[in-house]
Amino acid sequence: MSKGIALHWRLIPRRYNLIGTECKNCGEKFFPPRKLCPNCRRTGDIEEVKFSGNGEIYSYTIVHSPPKGFEYMKPYIIGVIKLDEGPLLTAQIVDSKPEDIEIGKRVEMVFRKVIADGSSGIIRYAYKFRPVD
Ligand code: ZN
């Protein structure tokens, strides 16, 4: 997974949807979106696909030392989410205490405002996940 693409994607509140791609040739789905299917190469047929935003916690980390500007969030939870469609992605898990998080727990995507830089007032949006019961 390319970190550059993931970051770029996260900063765009694009339709508030989780848009990835799918190879119509072999059926594999990608997030972040890929233009070339690693399985099929040139014979692949890539199309955009919208993911449901539903999945489960594949793994997670509790972050006790957030980067500068995010101290108010501490501690927070970064999870690797396995989407129902297959791809894994990394995102913050919100609306939950660290002790309530476990591998395999069902989650759904939510879009949340992120104030990235208090002095400039820039507000960005990011996808995050919250547990569903
Ligand atoms: Zn393919």
CA of 80 to the centre of ligand 1 (A): 23
CA of 8 to the centre of ligand 1 (A): 24
Instruction: Map residue 32 onto helix, strand or coil.
Output: coil
Q: What is the pLDDT of residues 103-115, one digit of tens each?
A: 999 999 998 877 6
| 3-state SS string for 78-107 | EEEEEECCCCEEEEEECCCCHHHCCCCCEE
Tell me the average pLDDT across 60-77. 80
Q: What is the pLDDT of residues 5-63, one digit of tens each?
A: 555 555 554 556 788 999 999 999 999 899 999 999 988 899 999 999 999 999 999 98
Are 107 and 129 in contact by the 8 Å Cβ rule? The answer is yes
Spatial strand order of the sheet with 18-23 comes to 29-30, 18-23, 46-51
CA of 22 to the centre of ligand 1 (A): 8
Please tell me the predicted confidence (pLDDT) of residue 28.
95
> What is the spatial distance between Cα 21 and Cα 90, in angstroms, rounded to a whole number?
17
Please tell me the predicted confidence (pLDDT) of residue 3.
47
